[in-house]
Chains A and B, each alone.
Chain A
Amino acid sequence: MTPGKHSRALPRAANAGRLQRRPEKRWWTTPQLVATMPVSPAGSHKQQSFGLNNATQPNKSISFFATMKGTSMKSYAGANQSRMVVSKAMLIPSELKTVEKTNPNIKTIQVFDINGIDVTPRPLYHPDPLTGTAKPNKLLTSQEGSLGSEFVSSYSLYQNTINPSMLGQFTRSVLGSSTVSKSSVSTSESIAEDLEESSYKRERLTSFTDLRVMRAAPETVITKEDLEKNIEIILTETETLKFFDLPAVMVSVESEEAEKVIQRNKNYEVLCRNRLGNDLYVERMMQTFNGAPKNKEVQCDKIIMEDKGIMSTAWDLYDSYNAMELLSLSVKQSSPESSSKANVLPKDREQGLAGSTTEKSSEASSLMDIENVILAKIHEDEEDFSDVILKSDRFHQDLLFMERVLMGNIFQPKLAAYRQLPVFKEPEPEEPEDFLENAKHEEVEEEPKKEEEEEIEIDAEESTILANLERLWSFSCELTKGLNVSSLAWNKTNPDLLAVGYGNFGFKEQKRGLACCWSIKNPMWPERIYQSPCGVTAVDFSIGSPNLLAVGYHNGTIAIYNVRSNSNVPVLDSSESPQKHLGPVWQLQWIEQDRGTTGDDKREILVSISADGRISKWVIRKGLDCYDLMRLKRTTVASNKKGGEKEKKDEALISRQAPGMCFAFHPKDTNIYLAGTEEGYIHKCSCSYNEQYLDTYRGHKGPVYKVTWNPFCHDVFLSCSADWGVIIWQQENIKPFLSFYPTTSVVYDVAWSPKSSYIFAAANENRVEIWDLHISTLDPLIVNVANPGIKFTTILFAKQTDCLLVGDSDGQVSVYELRNMPTALDSGQTIDIQETIIKSERTE
């Protein structure tokens, strides 16, 4: 084809029609079947060139006119019906300019999409400038291969308009569906008509520029991260698009328009009737042209469908909402960082694993090697990962829970008894338990009979079932083995927490010391362990800050630990204080002094008494500050024995009484306290006077190991000493009220029962005795003998339950349950106990 001839196409327009016939015969069997070519602004031009080409190269294959750049190639839309168009000229890009020159009025239409990218459809066929002739097949193939050109060729369009004989030669339609309008118009139609209509077509074609065709985006490499990125898909409601609106043709009879509609209907009926024979109506026929439909097939890639199902649970939604809220808040916290760090590791590991699996699948060869590598990688990841888990706090806590749960299982009957719950029987009861159960049943049956105390007395001697101590369990572990329990203290707020101090009393027997916090929930291992080279002689929990534990040592140091933390270092230490005690601190107690001497509100102070004869008050301000409350001066030993001969020290009972041997603050008046000394004297002192005693009670002949006020009767107190005796005193009376000398062994500890004002417990060297003054003042109610070699050194009642804790010299703190105790009578009546005691005294 001769591109150059385009320019000459115009003048030959007139002849085009005639000239067309020849090629028509060649290429179309029926000229009528020639489809009209879609109009393009250059349509006229095309036709002319077509004619030209036909004239010049009749033997050449069809060459198609490619529209110029940007010219509306959308002319395929079946625009022109009356044309027969076969343009044979092939427009080479280089010719565009020439063409444009010739037809300056031709608009170049470009298509842009929303983003301003030029998406004008490219021509599907780019002719090879060298080859003039191109067979239809070649045309097709070259057309297929053409990409990136800026203009769209109407090549395919024209293809579509070829008559059926030619259609067979073309195996593809390139530009998509197009309706080829086969005009029935003969080719004899003048081109002039076409020319006229071309302008019309032009306009029509411009409307097609609105069509948007997206160019294929360059392929981007999708990375793994992209795949794993969370893509947010936000579903929003779009505005309602109305695709179809069929207004109703029925109107309700009752509506407002009904009348109008009815009237109109009537009018119409009249009109129809009048139509026949009416001059106003003339029949006329018209013929419509039907376009020839053409089928077009398109092939596309297979659409891959994936099914995904998910169950949306309530918590899933809650989590998602919460996560969104957290993100939107965008609070800068360290916890998200740390959690993200923690998450990074598992993520990495997962990615690593995922990567390894893909490796496996992709490479078939050397599979074994890869597998080994992967396994090695997995193990490495695992190790790192497992360490993270093991170190995490949650794991610690879970371990703690687990241990407690196990303990609960193991000690279940004992703990239930402790907490006074019905004991749960295992479905397979063991033999000894069975007997025990039976024994219990018998006891229960006989209990109602024991209402009267006299009967109890008799029964106690006759029947085998009497009030007894039943050993539930004991707190001990290998750390505490061999140590001497020197002090016991309950926590003020957590009734399950027990502090135990281990340390020898005697100076020569000094070993390492230990202060442990035990929990009822885990009798086999202490919750906190505080070790020290020096024996512990006193422990007490604070009232105001129940996490503070004060520990007194044999060397006079007082240390305060915070049990909430896991550290073993004391929070405060008095070892550097200039006023620290020089002798073993035999007792420590936290006192809440209201209207204290300083005039402040209730402030908590730590009071200690030690072998150096000082009763000191420690205040926690910036450190431990010490003030002396009293200096125990006496003619005899009172003070300044560096713990040499002091054998035992007992510690404070938490409940109300100030425990023994060192001192006891009056439960009501915290200004008054008793102090027991090594001489055997008990001094009543006041915080206001630190030089003089208010009173002195003389009765003991040996060091007083414990003094404790009666929790119900505030005038009565109890003391025990190394002279084998236990004495009950009345506050006003400096002579002993009642004294007991049950055995010939040192009484280390006494304690009042929190439930009854008549009951107290005493720990000898080898016995634990429970006395009930209501029953007898001569004999203890219960006597529990220790195993040989073990001395009972401390005693403590449990508050809410009927249990007694006894510490011994082997490092064990045993928990006993008081069974079959006589029902507690009115414990608050002070008169009774005194009367009873007086009565019993008289009977002695």
Chain B
Amino acid sequence: MIFLVEETLKRIQSHKGVIGTMVVNAEGIPIRTTLDNSTTVQYAGLLHQLTMKARSTVRDIDPQNDLTFLRIRSKKHEIMVAPDKEYLLIVIQNPCE
């Protein structure tokens, strides 16, 4: 099971344009990351707050709804976050490449 997960993570990382992949837990401690620690921690902390806010927004409108995926498209690249109660899966991709 873990092997599959590792495989998939590796595959994701090897896709075109992917800059970094990271999995952080709810406290912001990285579990798997392909970037350096400081960047990871920075991303984790900032995205965690944003995810909370996004989730709060979604649920305020309809409490039965919940946030499943978050994509932030910027000029340089796209940050994709799959949030969960216990972890954050973050992938940064440069799609234009």
Contact = CB atoms under 8 A, between A and B. Distances in A.
Interface of A: 313-315, 317-319, 342, 346, 382, 385-392, 394-396, 398-403, 405-407, 409-410, 412, 426, 428, 430, 524-525
Given A398-B84, A410-B16, A426-B96, A315 B60 contact: yes
B54 interface: no
Nearest to B66: A315
B18 interface: yes
A400 B89 CA distance: 11
Contact of A318 (B18, B23, B64): B64
Given A313-B60, A402-B12, A410-B95, 16 more contacts: A313-B56, A315-B60, A342-B86, A346-B26, A382-B31, A385-B31, A386-B32, A387-B2, A390-B5, A390-B31, A395-B84, A402-B80, A405-B69, A406-B12, A409-B17, A524-B15
Nearest to B60: A314
A315 B31 contact: no
Give the 4 A-B residue pairs with the shortest CB-CB distance, closest first.
A315-B59, A318-B63, A398-B82, A386-B31
A319 to B, nearest CB: 7
A317 B63 CA distance: 9
B60 A395 contact: no
B86 A405 contact: no
A213 to B, nearest CB: 49
A322 to B, nearest CB: 9
A171 to B, nearest CB: 55
A412 B78 CA distance: 14
Contact of B91 (A313, A387, A406): A406
10 contacts: A315-B56, A317-B63, A386-B25, A395-B5, A395-B87, A396-B5, A401-B82, A405-B71, A406-B93, A410-B17
Given A382-B31, A402-B91, A405-B71, A389 B86 contact: yes
Interface residues of B, number: 37
A314 B15 contact: no
Among A382, A389, A390: residue with most chain B CB under 10 A:
A389
Interface in B1-31: 1-2, 4-5, 8-9, 11-12, 15-18, 23, 25-26, 29, 31
Nearest to A396: B5
Contact of B63 (A319, A386, A388): A319
Interface of B: 1-2, 4-5, 8-9, 11-12, 15-18, 23, 25-26, 29, 31-32, 56, 59-60, 63-64, 68-69, 71, 78, 80, 82, 84, 86-87, 89, 91, 93, 95-96
A279 B65 CA distance: 88
Nearest to B65: A315
Contact of A314 (B2, B63, B87): B63
A346 B27 CA distance: 10
Contact of B96 (A342, A387, A406, A428): A428
B86 A525 contact: no
A382 B63 contact: no
- Give the secondary structure class of B's interface: mixed
A403 B29 contact: no
Contacts of A396: 4-5, 8
B63 to A, nearest CB: 3
Given A382-B31, A389-B23, A389-B25, A399 B15 contact: no
A409 B93 contact: yes
Contacts of B69: 401, 405
A389 B96 contact: no
A118 B41 CA distance: 61
Contact of A391 (B1, B9, B17, B60): B1
B56 A389 contact: no
Given A313-B56, A426-B95, A399 B2 contact: no
Contacts of B80: 402, 405-406
A530 B96 CA distance: 34
A317 B87 CA distance: 24
B19 to A, nearest CB: 11
Contacts of B95: 409-410, 412, 426
B27 to A, nearest CB: 8
A406 B2 contact: no
Contact of B12 (A346, A388, A399): A399
A85 to B, nearest CB: 70
B89 A402 contact: yes
A785 B16 CA distance: 28
Contacts of B32: 386, 390
B60 A399 contact: no
B89 A398 contact: yes
A524 B2 CA distance: 21
A318 B8 CA distance: 36
A390 B29 contact: no
B89 to A, nearest CB: 5
A385 B56 CA distance: 25
Contacts of B11: 403, 524-525
A394 B12 contact: no
Given A382-B29, A406-B12, A406-B15, A389 B87 contact: yes
Nearest to A406: B15
A160 B56 CA distance: 63
Contacts of B64: 318
B23 A315 contact: no
Contacts of B2: 387, 390-391
B33 to A, nearest CB: 11
Nearest to B78: A409
B88 to A, nearest CB: 9
A396 B68 CA distance: 13
Contacts of B60: 313-315
